Structure 1
Amino acid sequence: MSNFVIEAPAVTAVPVAGGGSFPVRRVFCVGRNYAEHAREMGHDPDREEPFFFTKPADALVINGADMPYPAKTRDLHHEMELVVAIGTGGRDIPEAQALAHVYGYAAGLDMTRRDLQAAAKKAGRPWDMAKGFDLSGPIGEIVPASRAGHPAAGKIELSVNGAVRQSSDLSRQIWNVAETIAYLSGLVALKPGDLIFTGTPEGVGAVNKGDVLEGAIAGVGSVRTRIA
């Protein structure tokens, strides 16, 4: 019998290719992890260490469901990303051991209320409401690393209504997956169920109601959503 004074929140779980589901604990996101995207946002990628922001676990949109156009914005942007699913946790994980902590990988979208983000940056305030709003993280199936390996290179691409918007290669990441895990685990203890969105390449842009977003990462999988 539960001692909770309210109904316990549901566990967010992402489908796994081949069966089963991955329960999500926390969602970390790497900011500006591709040099060309950093430049298109007005930053110098050669002078920064990685930094992170978060989304709530229940911000994820699974099974190709629609994503509603969020309130309080007129500039909703897409950001196509490789997502890392952590299977075993740790603190201060050595880079050489980092990939052993990965359960698998997925394709995901870090949707952003760009106008709110710009206003927050200008005022020196947090990005939370620009990045961590409801249903801001469409994600595809997680493919276990036992099947997909650990992709260090390969095309990452996003199309909107069939037209390519973002196209790059995972090898162009400033911080690769092992480096990102090692660095992040020095800031917080990673645990099973954590996800890491690893940053987006150049070509981010606005989407509107009715647009269909289809992303794919070679050797990993795909993500799809419609802006409702």
Structure 2
Amino acid sequence: MKIIAVGMNYAQHNKELGHTQENSEPVIFMKPDSAILKDGKPFFVPDFSHEVHYETEVVVRICRLGKNIAPRFAHRYYDGVTVGIDFTARDLQRKFREAGNPWELCKGFDNSAAIGTFISLEQAGGDLQNLDFHLDIDGCEVQRGNTADMLFKIDDIIAYVSRFMTLKIGDLLFTGTPAGVGPVSVGQHLQGYLGGEKLLDFHIR
């Protein structure tokens, strides 16, 4: 399986990070399967970064083999949704970007893709482009978004990515983060919600 992620997919998040350009196509990056963190296991802050940020995202699970998928058929290619965290070594990201280098290492390190429990689209409310989601840290809300605010919709992202690579059963799509990202620290308790349902629950070690 592979993890496909979308960067800069919410305008307010782009603004908070100082990105002023408007992208005409989705910004895609990848995480290896070794990045997966699931089943409520703790996230251990890596020793190579002093500024690891949470980025709360809706995550979609691919359920069919697909290539060159038309947007109008994209909804047939996923069967589950959850909340995830795209952990980012922000200090390394700035360093790599300033040097004009690729920044996979700041996004694809071990356990950098936390995922919650998947639920069906019906359980989530049926409309993938109108889902509320939020993250609590130690019982206080720190980030909230709605998929209606995406710059590139999920079906369009799937169609776009499938032009370049075949989607396979079990692949995961991280769909971008809204404004409100911030650092994590040892001892914190993270809980992610889709609507009112808690799907993600783990600690920082």
Please state which band the TM-score falls in when normalised by the shorter chain.
over 0.9
Alignment match of 1:190 (pick from 161, 167, 174): 167
Whether 1:152 aligns to 2:152 is: no
Q: Quick one: distance in 2 between partners of 1:180 and 1:204?
A: 22
Residues 24-35 of structure 1: pairs in structure 2 closer than 5 A: 25-35=1-11
Structure 1 residue ranges (4+ consecutive) displaced by more than 6 angstroms after TM superposition: none
Q: TM-score, normalised by structure 2?
A: 0.94
Residues 26-65 of structure 1: pairs in structure 2 closer than 5 A: 26-44=2-20, 46-65=22-41
CA deviation map 1:156-183 (0-9, x unaligned): 1111112211112111011111111011
* Number of positions where the alignment pairs a residue of Structure 1 with one of Structure 2: 204
Residue 22 of structure 2 aligns to a residue whose secondary structure is helix
Residue 186 of structure 1 aligns to a residue whose secondary structure is helix
Residues 117-132 of structure 1: pairs in structure 2 closer than 5 A: 117-132=93-108
Q: Is residue 185–residue 204 contact of structure 2 (8 Å, CA) maintained in 1?
A: yes
Aligned to 2:176: 199
Alignment match of 1:67 (pick from 43, 50, 53): 43
TM-superposed deviation, 1:42: 1.2
Whether 1:114 aligns to 2:104 is: no
Letter in 2 for 1:176: K
Residue 151 of structure 1 aligns to a residue whose secondary structure is coil
Aligned to 1:17: none
Superposition RMSD on alpha carbons, in Å?
1.5
Moved more, 176-185 or 48-57: 48-57
Q: Quick one: distance in 2 between partners of 1:181 and 1:150?
A: 16
TM-superposed deviation, 1:129: 1.1
Q: Quick one: distance in 1 between partners of 2:156 and 2:94?
A: 28
Residues 172-183 of structure 1: pairs in structure 2 closer than 5 A: 172-183=149-160
Consecutive unaligned residues in structure 2, runs of 5 or more? none
Whether 1:212 aligns to 2:189 is: yes
Residues 150 and 226 of structure 1, relative CA distance in 2, 3 Å threshold: same
Aligned to 2:142: 165
Indicate the percent of aligned positions where both proteins have the same amino acid.
Answer: 36
Q: Is residue 118–residue 199 contact of structure 2 (8 Å, CA) maintained in 1?
A: no
**Greater relative contact order (CA < 8 Å, ≥ 6 in sequence):** 2
Moved more, 109-118 or 138-147: 138-147
Letter in 1 for 2:11: A
Residues 144 and 205 of structure 1, relative CA distance in 2, 3 Å threshold: same
Q: Is residue 55–residue 87 contact of structure 2 (8 Å, CA) maintained in 1?
A: yes
Aligned to 2:80: 104
Q: TM-score, normalised by structure 1?
A: 0.85
Q: Quick one: distance in 1 between partners of 2:23 and 2:137?
A: 32
When Rg is computed on C-alpha atoms for both structures, the one with the higher figure is 1
